[in-house]
Amino acid sequence: MILCRCERVIAAEIRQAVAQAAGPAEINRVKAITRCGMGRCQGRYCGFALQSLLSSLTNKGAGNVGRLRAQAPVRPIPLVAADSGSNDGKI
């Protein structure tokens, strides 16, 4: 079953990562190992499913496995706008 459709991570990969000897018990460690939640949606679609799966695999409450860290949306700006320090409505 596909858990993260952006990165095409399946539930078996999450189970395998958690089953390792020093397996991750925190959601952001699972994210770093499997890339689940690193895709275009930044975990908006798979975050809750990942948290629920990790909670059931580790026998911890959902609050104890953490939550995915949010990534701020970044928009590139022209270097001229950053250099002048003025914002004339172009950004």
Q: Identify the band that residue 78 occupies on the pLDDT scale cut at 50, 70 and 90.
A: confident
Average pLDDT of the segment spanning 22-40: 87
Q: Is residue 82 part of a domain?
A: no
Find the Cα–Cα–Cα–Cα dihedral 17, 22, 25, 30, rounded to 10°.
-40
d(CA 59, CA 67): 16
* pLDDT recorded at residue 87: 58
d(CA 2, CA 9): 6
Average pLDDT of the segment spanning 37-64: 90
Give the Å distances, CA to CA, from 43 to 26, 27, 90.
15, 11, 30
| Domain hosting residue 35, numbered range | 2-64
Q: Is residue 79 part of a domain?
A: no
- Whether 67 has a pLDDT exceeding 60, the answer reads yes
Q: Is residue 37 part of a domain?
A: yes
pTM: 0.71
Q: Is residue 23 part of a domain?
A: yes
Q: Give the tens place of pLDDT for each residue, 81-90.
A: 766 655 555 5
- Whether 17 has a pLDDT exceeding 80, the answer reads yes
* pLDDT recorded at residue 81: 73
